[in-house]
Chains A and B, each alone.
Chain A
Amino acid sequence: MALEALPSLRGEVRVTRYQAVSANGFVWSIVMPRLRGNQPLMAIDASELVSSDTSGGNVLDASVTERSPGQVPSMDSSAKLRQTVVVSNSTVLTDGRIEARIS
């Protein structure tokens, strides 16, 4: 919910939480289904987190890593289509937009 409030994520994320394998903590795996292409890493501000150990033995760690970069469509499959929309009275709407049905 917190992430979905970010306009830059366009209203949808998919989050799965795992137990961290090598240390005491969690990993949240975040998928961004509405975005296309490689995205910048999220930044994390962990200044208000409290470490589990004040003796300096276990060091608090907060990080973001890219599990898989987003890809843009290759546009090269055998199903690719290419259509030309001619600007004319039948495609220009009253508000100036061009609109066409593609099939």
Chain B
Amino acid sequence: MAPPSAPIMVTAVPSSEDSIVVSIVPPLDNGGVEITEYVIELDAAESRGYLAGASSRMLYSRHEVQIITISSPEDSLEGSFRIRFLDHQASDISVHSTAEQMRHALESLPVTGTVAVRLLELGDEDRFGHQWVVRFLSFDDDVPSMEVSTSEGSSWGAVASGIAFGVSAPTSSIAPGGAFVRVDEAAKGLEGFEQQDVSITEAVGGAFKLIFKG
């Protein structure tokens, strides 16, 4: 008995929000024994996989995707925070900003171009807050991470907590383990795709041919 050869063709087509239909054309050689089962393995890709809880950054996103998370142990979070991108700072952003307000704040920066923003509620039972999922549509490659800060004079970084976030007193400090705002890179633009550069220098005319035998 030998292992069967590979299936002649496998296709996967989305059939709903959370299911796919997999179609298999069986191999020509079953190895001498009837095939009774096929094992199908699936893994997440693109930023949706990250949002679904995958533990690592995802491949195959056409654009950079970064997620701004606001999280608090209390459900009465108030206050604002600041975002900096490529050394340009947006005006203060309310913790209750809509997706449209976040999009407007980011696109007001001269370096951002166009972004798409989705607002998601935080699914954690112990924490309250939400996430703005930011897709950078004007960049063709990896994008530096946005930075956040919570007040004038405080440091910039991927995570910020502090004086702008008081639940009952917005100007007081919050305790460790309290509210924070954080930026994560969910998908690096074009990561995982084959990328090749064709360079032509010191030519004034003519034509060239490309041959690809992938």
Interface centre among A32, A46, A73, A77 (most CB of B within 10 A): A77
User: Is B203 a contact partner of A81 (Cβ separation < 8 A)?
Assistant: no
In the complex the two chains form, what is the Cα distance from A69 to B207 in whole Å?
Answer: 27
A94 at the interface (CB under 8 A from B): no
Interface size on B, residues (CB 8 A): 59
Q: Kindly identify which residue among B39, B53, B208 contacts A46, using a CB–CB cutoff of 8 Å.
A: B208
Main secondary structure of the interface of B (DSSP, over half): strand
A-B residue pairs in contact (CB < 8 Å), sample of 18: A9-B212, A24-B201, A26-B201, A31-B195, A40-B213, A43-B212, A44-B198, A60-B203, A61-B200, A66-B196, A66-B197, A70-B195, A71-B59, A79-B52, A81-B41, A87-B37, A100-B21, A102-B40
**Extra A-B contacts (13), CB below 8 Å, given A43-B211, A63-B199, A79-B43:** A2-B210, A20-B201, A24-B202, A26-B201, A33-B193, A43-B212, A44-B208, A61-B200, A62-B198, A67-B197, A68-B191, A102-B19, A103-B20
Q: Which B residues are closer than 8 A to A by beta carbons? A: 12, 15-16, 18-26, 35-45, 49, 52-56, 58-60, 62, 140, 190-214
